[in-house]
């Protein structure tokens, strides 16, 4: 029995509120239940030094938690003077995930930074970040296409992410905090619309798992991402 009463393959409610901030070229507030992440896409007409002159663009991600997004207040990384290993790991994952669905030549020599700031955390902040970042990216690219700055759509597909895990022996979809902090295994899947995998990470927290368990988690992720793809579609069509 899940603490929330959800069925093992049941996602939390997904809501995506686009245009959440007025300055960003694309933005949304994405919620997976009580997890809320503000995702913004910022377009800059400059690229990292190593890409100059190649006619290609770049997509990168940044991630942070507001200090009181969590049950107990966490110290600001800006005050500590450095980003934690966890933050850096998540930032790298967000960037890789979004780059997996972008044709960098069609993007042109510009950089899009996807900032994911967690307003409220209840498990699954990194996967909500990736799913929301795609929406912000889609909106920013739409604007660039409308203005004629980009001619051909550089986004090749939707990308979404969801966490799964083995909780009290049962594979479950979309872990919330009470599950996440007690799971035997914890997996994050980044899936591309159409069935392919961009990234799979499954970690044994308590007991190691076997191949079959892994495949069941992947099935759950595929179900969850189907829901997220629908929500992304609705949000960006509006």
Provide the annotated binding site for phosphate: 86, 124-126
Number of residues forming the site for a copy of itself (CB under 8 A): 62
| Residue 25 φ/ψ, nearest 5 degrees | -65, -25
**Secondary structure of residue 29 in the 3-state scheme:** strand
Q: Classify 196 as helix, strand or coil.
A: strand
Q: How far is the CB of 237 from a copy of itself (least distance, A)?
A: 23
Query: Counting contacts by CB under 8 A, is residue 212 touching a copy of itself?
Result: no
- The answer to whether the CB of 36 falls within 8 A of the CB of 30 is yes
Is residue 148 at the binding interface for a copy of itself, with CB under 8 A as the rule? no
User: Tell me, what DSSP letter sits at residue 19?
Assistant: -
Identified binder of a copy of itself from the candidate list 104, 199, 223, 226, rule CB under 8 A = 199
Query: Token pair of 158, please?
Result: 């939707």
CB of 62 to a copy of itself, least distance (A): 6
Counting contacts by CB under 8 A, is residue 204 touching a copy of itself?
Answer: yes
Choice from 7, 13, 44, 233 touching a copy of itself (CB under 8 A): 44
Q: In the complex, what is the shortest distance from the CB of residue 234 to a copy of itself, in angstroms, rounded to a whole number?
A: 24
Q: Burial letters for 118-131: b for 16+ Cβ neighbours within 10 Å, e otherwise? A: bbbbbbbbbbbbbb
State which of residues 4, 60, 70, 182 lies at the interface with a copy of itself (CB under 8 A).
70
To which residue do tokens 């996807």 refer? 114
- CB contact at 8 A, 236 and 142: yes
157 by DSSP, 3-state: which?
Answer: coil
Is residue 181 close enough to count as binding a copy of itself by CB under 8 A? no
Between CA 37 and CA 54 the distance in angstroms is 34
Q: How far is the CB of 8 from a copy of itself (least distance, A)?
A: 20
- 142 near a copy of itself (CB under 8 A): no
Residue 20 is encoded by which pair of tokens? 């959440």
Q: Return residues touching a copy of itself (CB under 8 A).
A: 21-24, 27, 34, 38, 40, 42, 44, 62, 64, 66-73, 76-89, 91-92, 96, 100, 113, 115, 117, 119-121, 192, 195-204, 208-211, 214-215, 218
């Amino acid at each position: 029995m899940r603490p929330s009463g959800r069925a093992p393959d049941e996602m939390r409610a997904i809501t995506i509120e686009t245009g959440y901030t007025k300055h960003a070229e694309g933005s949304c507030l994405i919620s997976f239940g009580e997890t809320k992440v503000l995702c913004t896409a910022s377009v800059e007409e400059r690229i990292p030094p190593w890409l100059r002159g190649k006619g290609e663009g770049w997509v990168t991600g940044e991630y942070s938690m507001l200090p009181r997004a969590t049950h107990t207040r966490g110290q600001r990384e800006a005050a500590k003077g450095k980003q934690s290993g966890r933050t850096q790991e998540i930032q790298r994952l967000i960037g890789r995930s979004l780059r997996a669905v972008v044709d960098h030549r069609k993007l042109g020599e510009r950089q899009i930074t996807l900032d994911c700031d967690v307003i409220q955390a209840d498990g699954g902040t990194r996967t909500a970040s990736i799913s929301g970042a795609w929406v912000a990216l889609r909106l920013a690219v739409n604007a660039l296409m409308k203005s004629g700055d980009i001619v051909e759509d550089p986004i090749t597909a939707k990308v979404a992410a969801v966490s799964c895990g083995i909780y009290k022996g049962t594979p479950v979809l979309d872990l919330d905090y009470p599950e996440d902090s007690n799971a035997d295994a914890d997996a994050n899947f980044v899936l591309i619309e159409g069935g392919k995998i961009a990234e799979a990470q499954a970690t044994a927290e308590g007991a190691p798992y076997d191949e079959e368990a892994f495949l069941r988690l992947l099935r759950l992720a595929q179900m969850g991402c189907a829901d997220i793809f629908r929500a992304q579609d609705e949000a960006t069509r509006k």
